[in-house]
Chain A
Amino acid sequence: MLADTSLLNQTIGLGEPKTIDCFPAGAEVEIHAVSGDRQLCKRMESMGLRPGKQVKILKNRGRGILLKTENTRLALRLSPAFVLEAVYPRP
């Protein structure tokens, strides 16, 4: 698992924060920033999408994303009002 991620890191470019839909399914990333509508951001943060949190991307369909963080699965629908940036964690 770990070896996989670091290999991916090298190919994709380590440490560059990108919006969450840029990561492929299966990637294990760290939330970098939550921005957009303030209310919505607070909501997402309270549901566990906070900077520093490790998440695994289970499905990526562009607008619709399925994430797993700890033992929680979250289905998101992205919109301009809600931008989620993530980054590959440092090994």
Chain B
Amino acid sequence: MTTPLVATTGNITIAFAGNPNVGKTALINAMSGSKLKVGNWPGVTVEKKEAKMQHAGMQLKLIDLPGTYSLSPFTIEEQVCRDYLLVDKPALVVNVIEASNLEKSLYLTQQLMEMEIPMIIALNMWDEFESRGYRFDIDAFSQALNVPVTTTVGPTGKGTKELKELIIERAADTSLPTAFLYPGPIEQEVTKLMAEIDGKNFAKGAPLRWLALKLLEHDPYSLKKIEEIHNLDVSHYGTEHRQRLSEIYPNLDKALAQHRQQQITRLARQVVTAPEQPKADLTDLTDRILLNEWTGLPAFLGILFVVFKLTFDISTPFVDWIDGLVNGFLARWAGLGLEALSLPPLVVSLVKDGIIGGVGLVLTFVPTLMCLYLFLALLEESGYMARAAFIMDRFMYRFGLHGKAFVPLLVGFGCNVPGVYATRALESDTDRRITAAVMSFMSCGAKLPIYALFTAAFFERSQAWVIMSLYLTGIIVAITWAIILRKTRFKSDIPAFVMELPPYRFPTFKMLWASIWLKTRAFIKQAGTVIAVSMILLWSLVNLPYGAAPKDTVLGMSSRAVAPAFLPQGFGQHWEAVAAILPGFMAKEMVVGTLGVVMSVQQDNEPKADANFTEELKEQAVGFKDSAVTAGAAVIGSILPTPFQIESEKADSPLMAGVRKTFTPLSAFAFMVFNLLLISCVSVVGAMTQEFGGRYLGFVFLITTGTAYVASTLVYQIGRLLGFS
């Protein structure tokens, strides 16, 4: 034997290809110690990733490709895989196959074998396969394809040693897999076509047989790709061959598919033996309850209720703690420090309220987001999320929404920000955009204080009903817009779809943490900058010219200027009402706060007279511990349902008196509707920009603001016609 080619270079590039969710990434992690993201649903890896390792004195470069069902790609991720194999030509392909889904996997294997790249097959999830009681004739399988085969278990790394050895061996002996043969007449035409295109420019470097087959099939993706690369229309190749074949095979597509499937079935029957007594499958048993006609929906609602409630119950104490830490503690001490430096009060206020306040606001979202991400990750990793989508699809379908849109929208009721991020679970961009657009109509938790104040002031006896009617208004508007958007801007039928429901699996702590941390970090980094900058901007509006009376600040003056625009809603006569809207944009909680400020209501949160830094620092630490205890108690308390807690204002606070003077019941209702339908806050703006770009944000901003304006006008005007005041 000659010296193996690779031994001289000592460097091998190995691509891992296979169906989605078969454990390619888990396998690479186990082999190389890398920490690439693993998850129990199809489509975790969306870009090509790399891991390097040393073995037997050689450097192995493992390429993690997005999962794909075929090399005639349907999605962008799948294209990544095909293009890599065609263009970058790795020395070796490891085809990862889920042993329990042999027939499905072999469809891709057939195509990989046509790529003329040396190949190894890893039968992954071998543990699951064996526990199902099946048997596999590995030798026969290996011989039939002329490909070395080994068994692996990704998470434990079992079998990876053998896989490494095989890789080294195979890199030295570069024999190719046997080609899958088609029936005689088709083979004849393929051979002819191969001769025809051999030596042509566009055929250089590509596997000839594969290319001939694609031309014969008239595969649109491949044709397009060639046109892109070589600027050459090759669609006429294969036309006459197809014509000749049409006598024998009126439908060539079908004939090819049938033939491939026949070969696959034959091979699978030859190598896999089913157990005499099939074992009860845990996933099937669980699905019998969770997807059952009668128990499925209640189980779904129950799970959501618990997730939702736990998220907010666990995070609220921490949110309060962070709020106190930043705004109470840090801001105060920074303020005192800056004053000690005798800086002008303007600068002190900017740093204290603008910058520290802005950063603090971003941080207050973190506990909620992390809790939510934890639960979403649990649902996703366990395999339940796909089922929830299946359950909801029948309802959501009518509104032009995808079944998977339900969860993000529900999350939106707590806070729109994680809701917008949660739309990532939807595959199609159109579905994501529609879902995110209607997200703002889901009344978020921060809007509740507004309702609490106004209902307490005007609708004392029917407070709960009024609040519920507001939530309902939001939902109806959201549904209406979803239908409109689907019919206009995103003109498309909701497509036929197919979704794989992964088997139920226990999520590992590592998987959960990776998922939470990645998302949280992205939030802090990107949304954080947008929010902080907007906070400073809004601070200037509320505080400049510095020291002026509320009605003479930029905010006061501009509200007085635009106030007449709100005459149709019934609250335009009072600039104070209008002034509260804009700061509400920082955080909806601020609507109430601003009303307090502009109505010059005395506030009683003056700092303590004598301050002691170390004492207060200790208090903060104790506060964190207390938060943890409260959160822990909340977990237990959550299981017992408690209704919405409305923090109602004290019956006759000066603020309520002020509100009563400024609003009538009807204009108060219009004001609530206006705030309900408005985009929630800058944090949502940050999230939307990050996810969909500024243009789409602009569009959403327009429709939400427009809807809010029109709807609140309608409420006021129709209300008046009906005789309310």
Contacts and interface: CB of A to CB of B under 8 A. Distances in A.
A47 B500 contact: yes
B214 interface: no
Contacts of B389: 75
A75 B498 contact: yes
Given A39-B74, A63-B397, A52 B258 contact: yes
Contact of A70 (B70, B104, B261): B104
Interface string B492-518: 011111111101000000000000000
Interface residues of A, number: 39
Interface in A6-55: 33-34, 36, 38-53
B283 to A, nearest CB: 8
A74 B496 contact: no
A58 B287 contact: yes
Contacts of A76: 496-499
A68 B283 CA distance: 11
Interface string A53-91: 100001101011010111111111111011000000000
A82 B107 CA distance: 20
A70 B102 contact: yes
Q: Is the interface of B mostly helix, strand, loop or mixed?
A: helix
Nearest to A70: B101
Contacts of B100: 70-71
Contact of B291 (A66, A71, A82): A66
B103 A48 contact: yes
B220 interface: yes
Contacts of B493: 79, 81
Contacts of B103: 48, 53, 69-70
Contacts of A69: 103-104
Contacts of B636: none
Interface in B263-311: 265, 281, 283-284, 287, 291
Interface in B90-126: 98, 100-104, 107-108
B489 interface: no
Contacts of A81: 493, 495-496
Contacts of A51: 254, 257-258, 261
B394 A61 contact: yes
A46 B386 CA distance: 20
Nearest to A50: B261
Contacts of A75: 386, 389-390, 393, 498-501
Interface residues of B, number: 43
A39 B101 contact: no
B261 A52 contact: yes
B410 to A, nearest CB: 20
A52 B262 contact: yes
Contacts of B500: 47, 72-75
Given A39-B74, A64-B390, A72 B254 contact: no
Contact of B220 (A33, A39, A49, A59): A39
Nearest to B499: A75
Nearest to A34: B257
Given A58-B287, A73-B500, A53 B261 contact: yes
A74 B499 contact: yes
B287 to A, nearest CB: 7
Nearest to A35: B254
Contacts of B70: 42, 45-46
B74 A71 contact: no
B498 A71 contact: no
Contacts of A73: 283, 287, 500-501, 503
A32 to B, nearest CB: 11
Nearest to B132: A71
Contacts of B390: 64, 66, 75
B496 A72 contact: no
Contacts of A36: 496
B251 to A, nearest CB: 9
Given A66-B291, A70-B101, A43 B69 contact: yes
B519 interface: no
B495 A79 contact: yes
A42 B73 CA distance: 9
A14 to B, nearest CB: 21
Nearest to B296: A59
Nearest to B100: A71
30 contacts: A33-B254, A38-B253, A40-B496, A42-B70, A42-B74, A46-B69, A46-B74, A47-B500, A50-B260, A51-B258, A51-B261, A52-B261, A53-B103, A58-B291, A66-B291, A69-B104, A70-B100, A70-B103, A71-B281, A71-B503, A73-B287, A74-B498, A74-B501, A75-B386, A75-B389, A75-B393, A75-B499, A75-B500, A76-B497, A77-B393
Given A47-B69, A52-B262, A64-B394, 5 more contacts: A46-B108, A50-B261, A71-B132, A76-B496, A76-B497
Interface of A: 33-34, 36, 38-53, 58-59, 61, 63-64, 66, 68-79, 81-82
Q: What are the 5 tightest A-B residue pairs by CB atom distance, in nearest-first order?
A: A46-B70, A46-B69, A79-B496, A71-B100, A48-B104
